[in-house]
Structure 1
């Protein structure tokens, strides 16, 4: 595994490791030299215990840090979901913690992915299922930093409120930015969870795509970003273009064919 790591291109220092809920870890890494990427891209994270690399969306947005020699970019965030006790991922995280305590660097290859944020004056809709939120977070933060963004709507769906591990942060963000609407969706909702969510939230109970199509007009030009389970992305795309074929090249996801192929299919 050491050979795989050292062949990568950019050294990173561990900054922090924080559990967002029982099964999701936020890992923050500081590049030791400039690490260019676009909001919505991903990287291959080498997992030492699993002896393999897996793609993880970068949850942060590109941010320059001025006045710091050798550290031209702020720390990046990776969210590792689905961590179960005694699993390979749990062992990987234990090794990451050891690297952090011993101040060992982690070497990562370049960012990849074509479903990155596009600057536009169009309304923006982001649909995230479960841990696909890490991709959505990067896109939303980047969109909010653009002066010409007209409106941004985030639909984030999960099984329960506990799985919406940044629910409060998104609620706060929607209050800070009038152009940002956050629509949380859960499949199951107990009375205790409903009370915890608060009266002000627009918490929906049901299936993510059902809520999205029931509350969204697809007749106007807009940019749509999708991330989640493969089948969810395919279903969402097919239904979107069935309603408005002109949106075929305005839907962004690395789980979809390249835009050039989609354009030919919807001429």
Structure 2
């Protein structure tokens, strides 16, 4: 199992894809953190800024919204990295020699899931720190408190990074359930950038359907952080962090199991 785990990890880090997407994520989240941090705290003299955005005089509401941006808007990138670690095997037909080296398909799936964790940690830590660093610079420019002296803020930051780790694992599960690389990428981008945000907004319109939105994948990831842009804006409520983690990990395991019972159940040539 150790050899399989090391092999799967090396397959991820010996390609250019993981670090290219990592650079994109760091740049994107730094941009988002700086822009939103400035927008929510800049005082135009007419009450705009944080108060105008509905955050009142609570600086923690602003920092929570900004520091959790990776869990709300950046999770598609670690999700794609996990996804590509599986679908690339099918696209380039390297799955056959992989299964010859490790014929136990259950161990193969488990190794893929576990190998994505350290990569997810890297995405989580760097993506979150890029957001926090850029936002803190924006707060310094507008003379707004950055709350970085508060232990609760660092707990929020750590949970945001943890959410991205889980998203990388979810990507692996999705890759097994949907091995066609092109289709899978289109589905990921369509769902994360359009479908789920629209669905969450529509579900929030009715008290009867609003609780359903808490269990959608994106909402579960935000729940791990303990806050998000969507929650601060009043679009949807979130589950407690532990419950959010359980739901998102559940998605990863169900998708991996589905892939094991379908994609990997048939003969691979």
Structure 2 length-normalised TM = 0.26
Which of the pair is proportionally richer in strand? 1
Structure 1 length-normalised TM = 0.27
Which of the pair is proportionally richer in helix? 2
Higher relative contact order (CA 8 A, sep 6+): 2
